[in-house]
Amino acid sequence: MSGTPNPAPLTPSVGIGWRHPHYAALLEQQPALGFIEVHSENFFAPGGAALAVLREGREHYPVSLHGVGLSLGSSVGIDPWHLDQLDRLVQTIDPVRVSDHASFASGNRAHAADLLPVPMSHAALDAMCANVGRVQDHLRRPIAVENLSAYVQWRDAEMEEPDFLNTLAQRTGCQLLVDVNNIYVNALNAQLRGETEDPLDQCRQWIDAIAPAHVAELHLAGHVHCGDIVIDDHGSRVVDAVWALYRRAVQRFGAVPTLIEWDTDVPEVGVLLDEAERARAAARQALAPEALAA
């Protein structure tokens, strides 16, 4: 026989969301993980037990800080206090990534109970670019911006969401965090509204429209059907359709760091570790030479 063997496919760094029920188990077991993710706002206090636990976790794993409160789409700008707290946490933990959502949640001292979508308009894009630029200048690093699972819609969009996100990354130098489950949830809700007959095809088109150079992380999670709406509740295992979309995303974006999110009905840590291993296996399958050549 001659020639060289095919190289083994790359495997992305896979992490899990580190939530309170698993603080002790993770520190005791120290399973093999690429990174752990925490919600930034839970650790804004300058001291105390929470920050002490995060410091200990940081001794064993890279940490990704994922926020829900920057309100990057707000037309009134970024809350200085929130940004200062995030900056202090970044300096303390030295995270591998910092991320938040392409949404707004506050403005003029009003705070929503959910992450709300921004209009896909040039004015909204200008506002988000300004806010992302301010955050990156303050933190002295790029951030990653996540696509949203949206349950309300603005009328008269001027661009598609992938175009909005691509342009945001091009203008600001930010990265993109592609949540595969969010894409699927939005497509299922579009199907329920009678706007698409094939949610999987809509998702594939969304993924194919995102420029690979911008993507810094992928998210995987579960969702739930609640009557006439699908909710991104992060409360169950990843479904087969999302695994299929994840393989497509890996083929397009490469071996991008991948997170398993689980925030409600949190099971024992072994379930999350099993999902993390499934993500590694799915990525290896997607990046195998025969799959890439298909």
The structural domains of the chain, with segments of one domain joined by +, span 14-293
Mean pLDDT, each 10-residue run in order, the chain (294 residues): 47 96 97 98 94 98 96 93 97 98 69 75 97 98 95 86 98 98 97 94 98 98 94 96 98 97 96 98 92 75
Domain formed by 14-293, architecture: Alpha-Beta Barrel (3.20)
Which pLDDT score, from 0 to 100, does residue 1 have? 33
Give the separation between CA 220 and CA 181, rounded to whole angstroms: 6
Give the separation between CA 245 and CA 286, rounded to whole angstroms: 10
Which pLDDT score, from 0 to 100, does residue 106 have? 56
Which pLDDT score, from 0 to 100, does residue 57 have? 98
Which pLDDT score, from 0 to 100, does residue 51 have? 97
Which pLDDT score, from 0 to 100, does residue 9 have? 57
Which pLDDT score, from 0 to 100, does residue 182 have? 97
228 exposed, middle or buried (CB, 10 Å; 0-12, 13-18, 19+)? exposed
Tokens standing for residue 134: 């301010």
Which pLDDT score, from 0 to 100, does residue 15 have? 98
Which pLDDT score, from 0 to 100, does residue 157 have? 87
